[in-house]
Amino acid sequence: MSNKPHDQDRDTIDFGFEQVPKQEKVNRVADVFHSVADKYDVMNDLMSFGIHRIWKKLTIEHCSVRKGQKILDLAGGTGDLTAKFSELVGDDGLVILADINDSMLKVGRDKLRDKGLIKNIEYVQANAEALPFPDNYFDCITISFGLRNVTDKDKALRSMWRVLKPGGRLIVLEFSKPQYSLLNKAYDLYSFHVLPFMGKVVANDSDSYRYLAESIRMHPDQNTLKQMMTDAGFGDVKYYNMTGGIVALHLGFKF
């Protein structure tokens, strides 16, 4: 698992276990999510045995969202968090579902509109490294299972800090490093053998799910990401391991 936070110092970047030119990663990640968008929700349930719903519920609780607030659900994909935020902020609030991938954004928009959620939600195709929003705009930003796919994570974290209001919070929900050796071994077996097979059977795409497994291993571990958030300007940064550290929730504030 990667412990190198300074992606901006390198000419190449990881795409799973492969090193590619930085400008190439964006397009290759886009191809992955164009491929999996239609089956994304189904595969999430299968891959996590439904546990991702508990992880997201805990994420919502740590956001402490109130009526009238502005929320950015970054890399929000098919809108699971956006749907709940929409209820919490009420008619006077605003939730922006942002994703760099137009296929994922379309799936999310259609899903939320089918649920009748249209009043306080906007959709923006955006790169996390250069968010197209004013300074000090959002009360809370979440990025759920998206940061590991960002090319320059340090730049993205600084961009998130810029658009947060003073007193606002960033919540990062992401796969991380399991804390127990036996769990780590079982997780590797599952990720590199079972997961690509499920991707082939359900989504007819084993390669994309092999990349997703590799991208998890290349993502910074808990303490490295905590330091990256601190370096980007966030204060009182802490993290909570879930499911033995398979997933970690990082929380930081803008003071």
Q: Identify the band that residue 3 occupies on the pLDDT scale cut at 50, 70 and 90.
A: very low
Question: What's the mean pLDDT when you consider all of the chain?
Answer: 90
Q: How many domains is the chain partitioned into structurally?
A: 1
Average pLDDT over residues 171-189: 92
Task: Establish if 194 belongs to a structural domain.
Answer: no
Per-residue model confidence (pLDDT) at position 35: 76
Buried b or exposed e, range 25-47, using 16+ CB within 10 angstroms: bbeebbebbebbbebbbebbebb
Distance CA 134, CA 213 (A): 35
Q: Identify the band that residue 208 occupies on the pLDDT scale cut at 50, 70 and 90.
A: confident
Share of the chain above pLDDT 90, in %: 64
Angle at 85 between CA 168 and CA 141, to 5 degrees: 30
Task: Establish if 38 belongs to a structural domain.
Answer: yes
What is the model's pTM? Answer: 0.87
| Domain range for 46 | 7-180+208-253
Task: Establish if 199 belongs to a structural domain.
Answer: no
Residue 8 has pLDDT above 60, yes or no: no
Residue 49 has pLDDT above 90, yes or no: no
For residue 144, say whether it is annotated as part of any ligand binding site. Answer: yes
Cα 77 from chain centre? 9
Per-residue model confidence (pLDDT) at position 127: 94
Per-residue pLDDT tens over the stretch 88-132: 999 999 999 999 999 999 999 999 999 999 889 999 999 999 999
For residue 99, say whether it is annotated as part of any ligand binding site. Answer: yes
CB 215 within 8 A of CB 238: no
Task: Establish if 65 belongs to a structural domain.
Answer: yes
CATH code of the domain covering residue 175: 3.40.50.150
Residues near 37 by Cβ (< 8 Å), separated by ≥ 6?
78, 101, 103, 104, 106, 107
Per-residue model confidence (pLDDT) at position 5: 47
For residue 78, say whether it is annotated as part of any ligand binding site. Answer: yes
Buried b or exposed e, range 157-183, using 16+ CB within 10 angstroms: bbbbbbbbeeebbbbbbbbbbbeeeee
Mean pLDDT is highest, among 152-156, 176-180, 207-211, for 152-156
Task: Establish if 116 belongs to a structural domain.
Answer: yes
Task: Establish if 63 belongs to a structural domain.
Answer: yes
Q: Identify the band that residue 10 occupies on the pLDDT scale cut at 50, 70 and 90.
A: low
Task: Establish if 133 belongs to a structural domain.
Answer: yes
CB 159 within 8 A of CB 131: yes
Across 91-163, where does the E strand assignment appear? Answer: 94-99, 121-125, 138-144
Distance CA 162, CA 166 (A): 9
Per-residue pLDDT tens over the stretch 228-252: 999 999 999 999 999 999 999 999 9
Task: Establish if 196 belongs to a structural domain.
Answer: no
